[in-house]
Chain A
């Protein structure tokens, strides 16, 4: 098999010979239209959640357009083009992370940002995509099963990255990065026995980890279990968010008619708590429709993953799918009060340029790895 490209590599290069059809341009029209639906819906919700700030919606639209362009460009690429140097991109991400810790950008509360003047972005967001890609790429760089050394190298990279993000401090993204790194490791066949031993070790050491959390993070966890204890302080977010979603009922209060959202009772309603706005204004029905769209996207992603031809692409695409799912789950869970408020945005809807950009780039990779069925 050495020296000879797999079959679908060749099939991919056949693009452009025949007249372009919708499925050829978009590669996976259902996935792309679902994404577009979500993005447009997201902009409408953002308009409502931001207190009807057109400037915020406009800014977000620019990121979406850039993101869609990047997605389109990346989806044209063949995985052989980027597979080999994805590993090296990881190093760039790591350097940027260290950069923000050493040279924090002015005017931000936490050291998460790099300000390039025309644009500012969070390297942690970049890394949480690069990490699974690099891990998948490294673990499948040859046809052999990964060795103990391989596992150790990948796990170290994951731990260092998430530790650096935890130091920013950004507990939410740090956990997301940890998960997005571990998922390809698990899917690539990490030995189960070792995994159980590691999990046991983590459980045993968890009291020590708790002691090492900053009071701000401890407070967030504590208020999860008793939000009513401090209604004007830390519990305010959760209780107002639950009130918003609950008062939305089945049908919702109607677009722009959510009193909790429009009267500013929901804090961070444009970013971390945008799901509360959806719940309040569109109700349970709206939430279910939103989940349906998310479901279609995930279904298409996993379909692509399981049908794709290389181990690298299967690993990468399913990892991206799982990270996307975890994002949704953590965000929704924290707004309804079943998880601590950890500051994870709702993918493709929450305000935040870097976040939406990276998600779209990830879908670009997903699309590029779809097995082209031209025969």
Chain B
């Protein structure tokens, strides 16, 4: 009986087990079917999508940038080239813990905080980038060695060769060439047709910036397969980039060297250009800097460059505003002739001062006793202030301002460099706006001798003076003569036709007499001059001298105690006469004497240039 019951229970249990097994199997199958459907969806229905995703995972397009065009002189001598340096790069998209990585790098590879801070800003602003970002430039051999030992720690970092900018002549052309630096985010956004990578080196000033587009070339790209750490496995495809174009300077190395040497230890600027083309032959601003330090291809302290009180980065030649002082006189004289206010025979009595009306304020000339009887020619030779006071009053500010504008005063020359200043060409409207006062006749007097509100850059002055050499033709100044294979043409931007040829010629001969006449303000040049040049000295007052009880000389003795209050020394000139090839403008800040300090530099430059070009 019990055995039968047991067998019965046994078969019941077996049936129960089979039933429950089937139930369990069906239950599991429900999940199984969901998963199976998902499998079909993945591998068959959505396979294309996932194939794309898989390819996007491993295949990335990496831009290839061509090497930057080099900068050469017209004789093919290279002045700025690309040199290879080792940089540490990071792939932000594959960096999970940025803070940790940076902390480790700081400790292990001795990277300073400032670099890391700048880097973080870059990465945060472009987080999903597959681009490698440069963390440290110019790795030292020690840093490379340390990294190589521990590189497994950072699969997202690697050392890559990188082209850096090196100026073979060091600081010689610093203000012309400028320097390069990592592109900043605004520059990336502003760029339209060129996608800059985060760590790209772009021109920041000078030719490097102005000819950026020509020298950087076009982007190519390569398609590569990468692993999960972004490491390149193999290259699949490559589109070669357009090479950057080389840029050829108009500048003359020897002339530049001489100009730089003459300004060493002084503050000031020299601009030398060919009046017949506008091509700049020398452009020096002193003090200058070593662009290689900013390019990070030479070690040096950036802080001292940026914090120097004499502003070595400031390009005085194109951005410095100086009163033209007596160098303005030839232009005022021309206007007087043109307007018929004077002719070459008009003479006045220079008693050392000028009064608007009897018993009024005495406007003193630089020479206490005056120059006696002076006409236009003698006024230029001896630089009579009184003659030009008189003439300026007759001409009025309106006519002076309009005329000077034709020579480029108050306007940018359009030179192929950035940060050019436009100077100040004052008139009634300008004064009301800028000073908030109406124009006084005294202002006109000052303007007549290039003092007061009027100011200009050394380059503007060079362009204006050149127009006397060319009899009214004004060419746009340029520092680049050739880009790649393409020659840059000279560019006539204005032509002054209202002046008679005889007046140009007589003006020029007056300016020649500034040097050759024994009474001339630059007669000191006659001894050293190898070539006949035309010129004009200038001594720009920093502080106005107004005490009528003292002579100018006495009052200035007091002023000059402070070195920064001393007059600027100016000289403008061109030569050789009669066929000018070089215009030179020299400004020496606080140099006091246009004739003693500035003029010899100009003469030497012209002589040097001609000795090698004839």
Contacts and interface: CB of A to CB of B under 8 A. Distances in A.
B228 A246 contact: no
B6 A143 contact: yes
Given A187-B17, A245-B39, A249-B51, A284 B28 contact: no
A132 interface: no
Contact of A264 (B14, B49, B225, B228): B228
Contacts of B54: 243-244, 246-247, 259-260, 265, 280
Contact of A314 (B14, B24, B47, B226): B14
B499 to A, nearest CB: 74
A139 B599 CA distance: 118
Nearest to B59: A259
Interface stretch (B30-38, B171-179, B242-250): B30-38
Nearest to B233: A263
A242 interface: yes
Interface string B19-35: 01100110010011011
A347 B39 CA distance: 18
B123 to A, nearest CB: 14
B20 A189 contact: yes
A151 B51 CA distance: 52
Interface in A105-138: none
Interface string A177-188: 000000100111
- Interface-central residue, B18, B28, B57, B227, by most chain A CB under 10 Å: B57
A306 B20 contact: no
- Interface-central residue, A183, A246, A248, A338, by most chain B CB under 10 Å: A246
A279 B35 CA distance: 13
B21 A325 contact: no
Contacts of B226: 263
A311 B10 contact: yes
A232 B43 contact: no
A246 B51 contact: yes
Contacts of A188: 13, 17
B53 A243 contact: yes
A330 to B, nearest CB: 9
Contacts, number: 134
B96 interface: yes
B126 interface: no
A317 to B, nearest CB: 10
A243 B50 contact: yes
A264 B53 CA distance: 15
B234 to A, nearest CB: 11
B58 A259 contact: yes
Contacts of B43: 245-246, 248-250, 279, 283-284, 287
Contact of B228 (A263, A332, A339): A263
A242 B43 CA distance: 9
Interface residues of A, number: 46
A183 B18 CA distance: 13
Interface string A307-322: 0000100110010001
Contacts of A284: 39-40, 43-44
B42 A318 contact: no
Contacts of A264: 227-229
A198 B21 CA distance: 20
Contacts of A193: none
B186 interface: no
Given A145-B9, A311-B14, A333-B35, A245 B20 contact: no
Nearest to A266: B228
Contacts of A243: 50, 53-54, 57
Interface residues of B, number: 42
B46 interface: yes
Contacts of A249: 43-44, 47, 51
A322 B22 CA distance: 11
Contacts of B190: none
B16 interface: yes
B3 interface: yes
Interface string A260-290: 1001110000000000000110011001000
Interface in B185-238: 225-229, 233
A157 interface: no
A232 B50 CA distance: 17
A305 B20 CA distance: 13
Contacts of B50: 242-247
Interface in B266-281: none
Contacts of B225: 259, 263
Contacts of A42: none
A240 B28 CA distance: 26
A250 B43 CA distance: 6
Contacts of B42: 242, 245-246, 279, 336
Contacts of A1: 3, 6-7
A337 interface: yes
Given A183-B24, A322-B28, A338 B47 contact: no
Interface string A323-367: 001100100110011110000000000000000000000000000
Nearest to A4: B3
A90 interface: no
A247 B35 contact: no
A163 B351 CA distance: 115
A249 B41 CA distance: 10
A263 B35 contact: no
A72 interface: no
Contact of A338 (B3, B38, B40): B38
Nearest to B93: A232
A336 B39 contact: yes
A265 B227 CA distance: 7
Contacts of A240: 57
**Pairs of residues from A and B, 9 with the lowest C-beta to C-beta distance, nearest first:** A246-B50, A247-B54, A284-B43, A246-B42, A264-B228, A249-B47, A263-B227, A247-B50, A333-B35
23 contacts: A1-B6, A189-B17, A242-B42, A245-B39, A247-B55, A249-B47, A250-B47, A260-B57, A263-B58, A263-B228, A265-B58, A279-B39, A314-B14, A314-B17, A326-B28, A329-B28, A332-B35, A332-B39, A333-B31, A333-B34, A333-B35, A336-B39, A336-B42
Given A189-B17, A246-B43, A247-B51, 4 more contacts: A187-B24, A245-B43, A259-B58, A337-B38
